[in-house]
Structure 1
Amino acid sequence: MALLPRRQRRDVAQELRALLTDESADRDVEAVLASFGHPAEVAARYGPPVTLIDPVDTRRFLSLGIGGALLIHFGAFLGEIIKPVRDFQGAADAAWPVVFAWLGLLFVGFALRAWHRRRRPVRWSPGRARNEHVNRAGRIAALVFYAAGTAVLLDPPAAVRTVGLPQPAIDALTYHERFLDVRGPVMFALLLTLLVGEAVAIWRPWPVTQLVHGAVTCAVLTWLIGSGPIFVTQAADQTFKEITALIILVSLVDLAVRLRRTHAAHALRH
């Protein structure tokens, strides 16, 4: 009875007292109680238990919690990769408080969602199916943007010179010789495949291929910024690596969302 709301205790107690008395009339009392179930299980039969996270949200909570923890640690390691002196153990130790803060925010958010759902139930109605039409104008705009960015990355000093920046800025954005040996050609090849993929997607997108390409891109970019200097000056090199690290983190989140949508669409078709 202690596990039930006060307003239910008297009526449920009378019902259980009568039920257990009848069942134990010709049986051992301990056997009757053992077969009846644990008090918590019995209490759950008389109404939904108080839950902070609804069962329907458990899978999403676990996905966001585990995914966020992995992403936070990856971001911490990525921050160490772009530093001249690396301390991965220190980065992992510093990431754990952020992980616990993330889990706490998730817990509070889902608990508030469950409370609001019980207080104000929403009448659900099916929405429109997702439009699978290719937005060609958006694809073309993205292709132009990627092409312009690739042109800038092919020769940053020339791009800086075009906009009229002073000579120190031109010198700062000169690629390091070590970068041009191997990593530079790999990066330019990756950018070329990105342009080709965006051009093909204007007419026919390939979700699985794009997901694989996105994962490979994140891996290659991580290798690029972690294998030595990219620009000759430390300030430009550090800034470029920080921006690239942010792009990698955002790309990983986008990959996770697209993977979930692709999996859901595949499950619907089959």
Structure 2
Amino acid sequence: MTDDELISRYVADVIALLPRRQRADVARELRDLLREELTGPDDTRTLLTRFGHPAEVAARYTAPVALIDPADTRRFLLLAGGGALLVHLGGALLSPHDLAAAAEVTWPVVLGWLGVLVAAFAGTAWWRRRHTGPPAWKPRPPLSDRVNRVGRTAAVAVFALGTLILVDPAAVMHALGAAPAPFAYHPDFLLVRGPVLLTLLILGLALQTTLAWTGRWTRPLHLADLIHSLLVCAAMAWAISAGPVFSAAPTDRTTKAAAALIILITLADLAFRARRLSVAHALAS
């Protein structure tokens, strides 16, 4: 193959990666540039190797089309990895004694989640390039340690009422005129798991009451809240995987599914709050 044939083949590979409207101009410019470079001591193959792979050269002439914008890559990876982890964790919580069966159910969900993410991020990148251009920075509202005391007190009251209902839901259903049997706790649950969960719920009430009283977040309160949330998630996971919670099977299945969903949402919220606290700490240091 002659020098001109090598250059023509190289130029063809470059312009094949470019939009049609650019190909003729780039082909002329690149061919002339390579011929000028060839006047030196290098042979054609050495020159082309040093000049770069055709894909790299094509990227110099036009912005490469990215399925996911570089600015979104970190967020995409966090959502993809975090979502996959949460889905697998949810499957393990609902089928703790048959992880292989749980994986058969969760893997299609994970792949579907990844597909949704890719489509969403690719669509956002396409829209941004076509209509809005590069993303503009917008300042976020400043972080505040203050707490709405009225709202927090109302939340504590609702939390306390919910805790009272959970102590004996069968009695509450009976008082409301509903059948109490489907809401009776299993005797095994009442031995250890129930009291442990109730203790953690009471500790949570005490923590939220303290927060409503002080009216602001402090670093010890943040740390205590994060640790308490992790303990609650661990205790709930243990409670729903160690045996039945309710004697009635339908109520037990529904409760465990709801508990698994609460655990996953809480873990996602904990990750978000931990990241926010880390950023705030780095700014303060």
Q: How does the TM-score come out when normalised to structure 2?
A: 0.84
Is 1:180 the equivalent of 2:195? no
What's the offset of the Cα at 1:61? 0.9
Q: Which moved more, 1:259-268 or 1:211-220?
A: 259-268
Name the SS of the counterpart of 1:120 in structure 2: helix
* Aligned mates of 1:47, 1:208 — CA distance in 2: 49
What's the offset of the Cα at 1:131? 4.5
Report if the CA contact (8 A) 2:94-2:241 is conserved: no
* Aligned mates of 1:233, 1:13 — CA distance in 2: 75
* Aligned mates of 2:150, 2:143 — CA distance in 1: 15
Q: Unpaired segments of 5 or more residues in structure 2?
A: 1-14
Find the counterpart in structure 1 of residue 6 from structure 2.
none
Is 1:247 the equivalent of 2:258? no
Q: Unpaired segments of 5 or more residues in structure 1?
A: none
Is 1:8 the equivalent of 2:25? no
What's the offset of the Cα at 1:125? 5.5
User: Compared with structure 1, are the counterparts of its residues 128 and 105 closer, same or farther at alpha carbon in structure 2 (3 Å cutoff)?
Assistant: closer
The aligned amino acid for 2:159 is Y
The equivalences for 1:215-230 within 5 A come to 215-230=230-245
Q: Pick one of 112, 128, 153 that aligns with 1:117.
A: 128
Greater RCO, 1 or 2 (C-alpha within 8 Å, sep 6+): 1
Is 1:137 the equivalent of 2:150? yes
> CA RMSD, aligned part only?
2.0
Find the counterpart in structure 1 of residue 36 from structure 2.
22
Is 1:147 the equivalent of 2:160? yes
* Aligned mates of 1:161, 1:245 — CA distance in 2: 27
The superposition leaves residues 121-148 of structure 1 with CA deviations (integer Å, 9 ceiling, x where unpaired) of 2673633533513222221121111111
* Aligned mates of 1:96, 1:67 — CA distance in 2: 14
* Aligned mates of 1:59, 1:88 — CA distance in 2: 30
* Aligned mates of 2:78, 2:281 — CA distance in 1: 19
Identity %: 48
* Aligned mates of 2:137, 2:104 — CA distance in 1: 46
Find the counterpart in structure 2 of residue 234 from structure 1.
249
